[in-house]
Structure 1
Amino acid sequence: MVQSMTGYGRDEQQVHDTRVSVEVRSVNHRFLDISNKMPKSFLVVEDKVKKIVQSYFQRGRIDLFISIEGMGFIERNLQVDWNLLNQYIEKSKELKDKYGLQGDISVDRLTSLEGAFEIVEKEQSQDVLFDVVLRSVSNACEQVKNMREIEGQELIEDMKTRVLFIQETVKKLTERRHVVIEEHRSRIQKRLQEFITEDIADDSRIVQEVALLAEKGDITEELTRLSSHCVQFFDTLEQESAIGRKLDFILQEMHREINTIGSKSTDVQISHWIVLLKSEVEKIKEQVQNIE
C-alpha cells in the first residue's frame, strides 16, 4: 500500500519496576535515514532496532527515541561485615570491663556503624528487557506505518483527481491540435512571402518544404506521450513497493511534453490549457514529495 513519509508512533511497556518508552517520528527524505537515540547500555541492540525499522519503511527520515525508567532490573543485596561487627562488640566489652562502664550495645548503634552494612547493586540479565525494547520499537513503527498509509491514500485520491483532469485536457488539446498546425504553416508561408518572388511562389518543391516544416508544428506526438505518462502514473500508483521517485520521474516527463506543446502554439485557448496543465503538474509534484 502506498505510504506518505509523515507519521508518528509511541509505545510503552512495563516490566517489573521498569518502564520502556519508544517514540518514532517520520518525515520526508529522499532515502531511508534512521537516527537512534537510546541509553548506552542498549547500543548492543542498535542493529536489531535498525533492522526492525527497515522492515517497515523504505524512505523517510526516521527519528527513534528509546528511554528507560526504573530499577526493575537491578538486584539489591545487603552485605554485612561480620568481622568488623565482631571486633566492635569485643572492643566494647573490653571498654566496659576496663573502665567499669554500664549499658548494652543497641541494634540501632550497630546498624549505624560505617562500613558494617553495605547495599550492593547487581545488574541482572537484560535479555528480557532487550526483547521488550524491540517489541516496543515494532509497535511504535506499526503505528507510524498505519498513519503513513492513511495519509498516503488521501494523497493518492488527490493526485488521481488531478491526473484525470490532465487526461481530459489532453483530449481537448487533441481536438484542437489542427490549430497549431495551421498556425505553424501560416507563419512559414508569411516568412516565405517576404523572401521569395512571385515567379517561384508556386514551385512544387517549396510547397513540399512548407508541408514538411508545418508537420514540425504538429503536437500529436507530445499529446500521445503525455497521455501515455498519465497511464503510467496510474499504473505506478497500484504498485506495492516504494513509488515516490518513479512518480517524480514521470512528472518530469509530463512537464517536458507540456512545455513543448506550449512552445509550438500561440493559440490563446491552447495557451490557457497549458497554464492549467503546468499548475496541476506542480501541485502533484508537491504531493509526490511526501510519497514513499
Structure 2
Amino acid sequence: MPLSMTGFGRATATYYDKTISVEIKTVNHRFLDVSIKTPQTYQSLESDIRDSIQRHFQRGRVECFIMLDNEEVSPSKVNVNWPLMNQYVDTYYSIQNTYNLSTEEALAFIPKIPEIISISENVPLTESVSDIVLETVQEACGQVILMRSNEGKMITDDMKNRLENIKQLVKQLGERRETVIIEYQGRILSRIHAFTDGQLHDEARFYQEVAILAEKGDITEEITRLHSHVQQFGQTLNEEQVVGRKLGFILQEMQREVNTIGSKSNDALISNWVVTLKTEMEKIKEQIQNIE
C-alpha cells in the first residue's frame, strides 16, 4: 500500500542525566531531501543520522531536529590556556607601551586567537552515546512511517473509490460507442440527402465515404487503452513499494485518452461523461502528489 509523504514523529532518550529529543517531520517533495539540525555535540554523527533517515524514506522533504534538554544547543565548557594567555598579555603590554595604544586596543585581539580559548563538551560523545542518539532517530522515523502509513491508507481508499467511478464511466462509454456511430452516420446521411435531393451518382462510394467519416469519430481504441490503464492503476495501488511516480505516469496516459475521446465525440452524453472523468482524474492527481 502506498505511503503518504506527510508525517511526524518524536522520540526521547536519557543518558548522563541528560534528555535527548528527536523530532522528524516530512512533507511533499519530488525527491528525497533531508535536512538535519543538531547541537554541536552530535555534529560528528550527522552522516550516520542521514544514512539512517535515508534507509527509512525514499521521497519527500525530511526535517530532523535533535535537541538536548529541550534546547537546540549543547552544554559546553569554555577552556582557557592560561600560560599562553599570560604570554600574549605581556606581549600586548609591550606593544601598548611601544605604540602608545590604549589597553582596549592592545587586548582586543586576544579573544580572536583560537589557541587561547577553546570550547569542549561537558558530555563526551562516546560510542554508547552515539548508539543512543541513532536509536532515538530510528524510533522517531518509525513513528513517522506509522503516520505516513495511516494517511497513505486513507489516500489509497479515496483513489480506489474514484477509480471505481472511472471504471463505471468507461463501461458506459463502451456501451454508448456503437449507438453514437450509428447516430453519427444517420446525421451525415440526412444532411447529404438534404443537399443533393437524394440524387446520388455513385451510391456505393457515397456510403463508403460516410462509413469512413463515422469511423474517424470511433472511440473504440481509446476505450480499450483506457480500460488497460485503469486496470494497471488499480494493480499499482496494491504494490508494496514506492509507486507515486508510476501512478502519476499512468494517470497522465489515462488523461490523454480521455482528452482524445472528448475531441472525437459529438455526442452530448459522452461529453458530459468526459467532464466527469476529468474531474475524478484531477482529484486523483492531487492525491498522487502526496504519495511516496
TM over 0.5: yes
User: 2:12 — aligned with what?
Assistant: 12
How has the CA–CA distance of structure 1 residues 245 and 125 changed in structure 2, closer, same or farther, with 3 Å as cutoff? closer
Letter in 1 for 2:243: I
Distance 1:45 1:126 in 2: 11
How has the CA–CA distance of structure 1 residues 264 and 184 changed in structure 2, closer, same or farther, with 3 Å as cutoff? farther
Distance 2:205 2:284 in 1: 47
Asked whether the equivalents of residues 248 and 288 of structure 2 are also in contact (C-alpha less than 8 Å), the reply is yes
How has the CA–CA distance of structure 1 residues 22 and 144 changed in structure 2, closer, same or farther, with 3 Å as cutoff? same
Gaps of 5+ in 2: 78-119
TM-aligned CA deviation for residue 204 of structure 1: 2.2
TM-aligned CA deviation for residue 130 of structure 1: 1.4
How has the CA–CA distance of structure 1 residues 121 and 26 changed in structure 2, closer, same or farther, with 3 Å as cutoff? closer
> What per-residue deviation string (whole Å, max 9, x for no partner) do you get for residues 254-291 of structure 1?
11111111112222221221111111111111111111
Distance 2:51 2:155 in 1: 28
- Secondary structure, in 3 states, of the residue corresponding to 1:218? coil
Distance 2:180 2:64 in 1: 56
TM-aligned CA deviation for residue 239 of structure 1: 1.3
- Secondary structure, in 3 states, of the residue corresponding to 2:10? strand
TM-score, normalised with respect to structure 1: 0.77
Residues matched between the structures, number? 248
User: 2:87 — aligned with what?
Assistant: none
User: 1:60 — aligned with what?
Assistant: 60
- 1:167-182 aligned at under 5 Å gives the runs 167-182=167-182
TM-aligned CA deviation for residue 212 of structure 1: 2.1
- 1:204-223 aligned at under 5 Å gives the runs 204-223=204-223
* Counterpart check, 1:278 vs 2:285: no
Asked whether the equivalents of residues 5 and 60 of structure 2 are also in contact (C-alpha less than 8 Å), the reply is yes
Gaps of 5+ in 1: 76-119
Letter in 2 for 1:8: F
Distance 1:223 1:142 in 2: 43
* Higher-Rg member (1/2): 1
Q: Percent identity?
A: 50
* Counterpart check, 1:232 vs 2:232: yes
TM-aligned CA deviation for residue 45 of structure 1: 1.5
User: 1:166 — aligned with what?
Assistant: 166
TM-aligned CA deviation for residue 47 of structure 1: 1.5
User: 1:97 — aligned with what?
Assistant: none
Distance 2:122 2:11 in 1: 28
Distance 1:74 1:263 in 2: 70
TM-aligned CA deviation for residue 209 of structure 1: 2.6
How has the CA–CA distance of structure 1 residues 166 and 201 changed in structure 2, closer, same or farther, with 3 Å as cutoff? farther
* Counterpart check, 1:242 vs 2:247: no
Taking only aligned residues, the RMSD between alpha carbons, in angstroms, comes to 2.6
Asked whether the equivalents of residues 6 and 148 of structure 1 are also in contact (C-alpha less than 8 Å), the reply is yes
TM-score, normalised with respect to structure 2: 0.77
Letter in 2 for 1:222: E
